[in-house]
C-alpha cells in the first residue's frame, strides 16, 4: 500500500474544521480575504516540487522551462495591473519584500523614517522588535491627536531633523489616502528614497480608486493576499525614477540598475528558492484582478467600508479620523467602556472575526488595546452589499452591548450562521 494515498486525517480534519469556520462566520479582519478556487488550485499544484533559484531564463537549476513561463506570466500580468515597468514576484511575504528593499537600499545603521506602529504603521517599518528597527535607526511620524489624520508638513519637519536615508509610507491601520507627492518632496529635500508599502489598499490603487504611489515613490511593495485577493505573498515594484534614483554607480563606475539590485536582494540576499506554486497562484490572482469585475469588487469594497463607518458612527462609535477612504477603519471603543481584547473575544463567540488594535495615543497595551480594526474586503468577496453592512453593524453592536450575556451572543451567532447559508463560499 502506498502510504501517500492514506488521508492524513489529523491534518485534513483540521482543514475541514477551518473551512466550516470560514463558511459560518462573518470575516471582518481587514487583512484577510477569500481567494478563488483557481488560486487555491494553482497553489496546491505540482509546482511545489520545483526548485528554481534565479529568475526566468537565468536559473541555477535544470528543468525550469515551464516554471519560467509561469513566473514570467505573473510578472507580465502584474506590470499591466499596476502599470509599472518592473516587478519581482518572488518575495514569500510582505515582510520579506520590505526586508529585501531595505537590504538593497540601506547599510546597517542607516536612518529610516516610518509611520508609528501604534498609530497604524507596520512592524517592518522600523519597530524595535523587527529587523527594520534592529538593523536600522528608526524615527517615526504619526497622526494628529485631534483629527486622527497625518499632517504631511510635519513629516517634512521630522525628515529635516532626522535626515533619513529612506522614508516609508503605507500602513496596516490607516483609513485615509496618502499624499505621495508631499512625501516625495520631503524625501527629495533630504535625498531619501521613498518606499510605499501598499499591502492593504493595493487592489483599490490598482483600479484607480485611490492615489497612485507610482508617480512619486521610488519603490513600491505590497502583499498579495489582502484586498488584492491572491495567495499569501509579497511583491516589489518600481515607481517613477526606478532604474537609478541617485545616479548610483558600481565600484567599477558602471550605472547600477535598481531593478538588478532589488532582484539580488530577494535572491540570494534574503531568500532561497522561489515558491513557484505560490507564484502561479499570484499569476492567477493578477489575471483575475485585470478583469472588469475586479473593478466592480473594489468599488463595492470602498462603498461597503463607507457604510460600515457611517453606521458605526450613527450608533455612537468613535471612528478614528471620522471615516474611511479605503477598505478599513479603526474604532476607538473607549467611549463604550470596553477594550479591544474584550470586543475581539466576545465577537468571536458570535462567529464574527475582527482584530483588536491599538488606537493612536492608546493608554492600553498591545495585548489589550482600546480599539478594533474592521475591513470590508472579505465580506465583499462573499457577496455582501451596503444594506448587509448596516446589518453587520447592528449585529456587532448587539454582541458588544451584551458581552456578558451568553444567550444573546448565542442568538447573534445563530443569526449570522443562518444568514450566511445564502452566501456559499466554496464549491
| Angle, vertex CA 216, rays to CA 248 and CA 227, nearest 5 | 115
Annotated catalytic residue within 124, 221, 222, 223: 223
Residues 209-268 that bind ligand PLP (CB under 6 A): 223, 234
Closer to ligand PLP by CB, 173 or 420: give it.
Answer: 173
> Is 124 one of the binding residues for ligand PLP (CB under 6 A)?
yes
Q: Is 12 annotated as a binding residue?
A: no
CA distance 415 to 422: 12
Helices 386-401 and 292-314: crossing angle in degrees, nearest 10, is: 40
Query: Is 51 an active-site residue?
Result: yes
CA distance 29 to 355: 6
Give the residue from 40, 59, 38, 37 showing the smallest Cα distance to 50: 59
Query: Is 53 an active-site residue?
Result: yes
Give the residue from 30, 36, 26 showing the smallest Cα distance to 293: 36
Closer to ligand PLP by CB, 166 or 395: give it.
Answer: 166
Query: Is 252 an active-site residue?
Result: no
> Is 95 one of the binding residues for ligand PLP (CB under 6 A)?
yes
Closer to ligand PLP by CB, 238 or 412: give it.
Answer: 238
Print burial letters for 16-34: b (CB count within 10 Å at least 16), e (below 16): eeeeeebbebbbbbbbbbb
CA distance 335 to 304: 24
Applying CB under 6 A, which part among 91-99, 135-143, 211-219, 322-330 lies near ligand PLP?
91-99
Applying CB under 6 A, which part among 55-63, 168-176, 209-217, 391-399 lies near ligand PLP?
168-176
User: What is the size of the binding site for ligand PLP (CB under 6 A)?
Assistant: 14
For 364, half-sphere exposure in the C-beta direction (CA atoms, 13 angstrom radius) is 20
The three cell numbers of residue 289 are 484582478
Helix, strand, coil percentages, rounded to 5, for the chain:
45, 15, 40
> Is 122 one of the binding residues for ligand PLP (CB under 6 A)?
yes
The three cell numbers of residue 36 are 478563488
> Is 355 one of the binding residues for ligand PLP (CB under 6 A)?
no
In the list 25, 39, 64, 94, the residue contacting ligand PLP (rule: CB under 6 A) is 94
Applying CB under 6 A, which part among 2-10, 50-58, 89-97, 279-287 lies near ligand PLP?
89-97
CA distance 167 to 186: 9
Q: Is 175 annotated as a binding residue?
A: no
> Is 114 one of the binding residues for ligand PLP (CB under 6 A)?
no
The beta-strand segments (E) located in 203-341 are 219-223, 234-238, 318-319, 328-332
Which residue is nearest to ligand PLP, using beta carbons? 94
> Is 270 one of the binding residues for ligand PLP (CB under 6 A)?
no
CB atoms within 10 A of CB 137: 16
Annotated catalytic residue within 71, 197, 263, 362: 197
Q: Is 366 annotated as a binding residue?
A: yes
SS3 (DSSP) at 343: helix
> Is 93 one of the binding residues for ligand PLP (CB under 6 A)?
yes
> Is 133 one of the binding residues for ligand PLP (CB under 6 A)?
no
Q: Is 92 annotated as a binding residue?
A: no
CA distance 127 to 386: 37
Residues lying near ligand PLP in the complex (CB under 6 A): 31, 93-95, 122, 124, 170-172, 197, 199-200, 223, 234
**Mind telling me the catalytic residues?**
51, 53, 197, 223, 226, 232
**Which residues does the annotation place in the binding site for (6S)-5,6,7,8-tetrahydrofolate?**
117, 121-123, 365-367
**Which residues does the annotation place in the binding site?**
117, 121-123, 365-367
Amino acid at each position: 500500500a502506498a502510504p501517500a494515498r492514506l488521508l492524513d486525517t489529523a491534518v485534513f480534519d483540521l482543514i475541514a474544521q477551518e473551512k466550516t469556520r470560514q463558511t459560518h462566520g462573518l470575516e471582518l479582519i481587514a487583512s484577510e480575504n477569500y481567494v478563488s478556487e483557481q488560486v487555491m488550485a494553482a497553489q496546491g499544484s505540482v509546482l511545489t516540487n520545483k526548485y528554481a533559484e534565479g529568475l526566468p531564463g537565468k536559473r541555477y537549476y535544470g528543468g525550469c522551462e515551464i516554471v519560467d513561463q509561469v513566473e514570467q506570466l505573473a510578472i507580465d500580468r502584474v506590470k499591466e495591473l499596476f502599470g509599472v515597468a518592473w516587478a519581482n514576484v518572488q518575495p514569500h511575504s510582505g515582510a520579506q519584500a520590505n526586508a529585501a528593499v531595505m537590504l538593497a537600499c540601506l547599510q546597517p545603521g542607516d536612518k529610516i523614517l516610518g509611520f508609528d506602529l501604534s498609530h497604524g504603521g507596520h512592524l517592518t517599518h522600523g519597530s524595535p522588535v523587527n529587523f527594520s528597527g534592529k538593523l536600522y535607526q528608526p524615527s517615526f511620524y504619526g497622526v494628529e491627536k485631534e483629527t486622527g489624520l497625518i499632517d504631511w508638513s510635519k513629516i517634512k519637519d521630522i525628515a529635516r531633523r532626522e535626515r533619513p536615508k529612506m522614508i516609508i509610507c503605507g500602513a496596516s491601520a490607516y483609513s485615509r489616502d496618502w499624499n505621495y507627492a508631499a512625501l516625495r518632496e520631503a524625501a527629495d529635500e533630504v535625498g531619501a528614497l521613498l518606499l510605499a508599502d501598499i499591502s492593504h489598499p493595493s487592489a483599490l490603487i490598482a483600479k484607480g480608486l485611490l492615489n497612485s504611489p507610482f508617480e512619486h515613490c521610488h519603490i513600491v511593495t505590497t502583499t498579495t493576499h489582502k484586498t488584492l485577493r491572491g495567495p499569501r505573498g509579497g511583491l516589489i515594484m518600481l515607481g517613477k525614477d526606478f532604474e537609478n534614483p541617485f545616479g548610483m554607480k558600481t565600484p567599477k563606475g558602471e550605472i547600477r540598475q535598481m531593478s538588478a539590485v532589488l532582484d539580488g536582494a530577494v535572491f540570494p540576499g534574503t531568500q532561497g528558492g522561489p515558491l513557484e506554486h505560490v507564484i502561479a497562484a499570484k499569476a492567477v490572482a493578477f489575471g483575475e484582478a485585470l478583469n472588469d469585475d475586479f473593478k466592480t469588487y473594489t468599488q463595492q469594497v470602498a462603498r461597503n467600508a463607507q457604510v460600515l463607518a457611517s453606521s458605526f458612527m450613527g450608533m455612537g462609535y468613535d471612528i478614528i479620523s471620522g471615516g474611511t477612504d479605503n477598505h478599513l477603519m479603526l474604532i476607538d471603543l473607549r467611549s463604550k467602556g470596553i477594550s479591544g481584547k474584550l470586543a475581539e473575544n466576545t465577537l468571536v463567540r458570535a462567529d464574527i472575526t475582527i482584530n483588536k488594535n491599538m488606537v493612536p495615543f492608546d493608554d492600553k497595551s498591545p495585548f489589550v488595546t482600546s480599539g478594533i480594526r474592521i475591513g470590508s474586503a472579505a465580506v465583499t468577496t462573499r457577496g455582501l452589499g451596503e444594506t448587509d453592512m448596516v446589518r453587520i453593524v447592528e449585529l456587532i453592536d448587539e454582541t458588544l452591548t451584551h458581552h456578558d450575556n451568553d444567550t444573546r451572543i448565542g442568538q447573534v451567532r445563530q443569526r449570522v450562521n443562518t444568514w450566511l447559508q445564502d452566501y456559499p463560499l466554496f464549491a
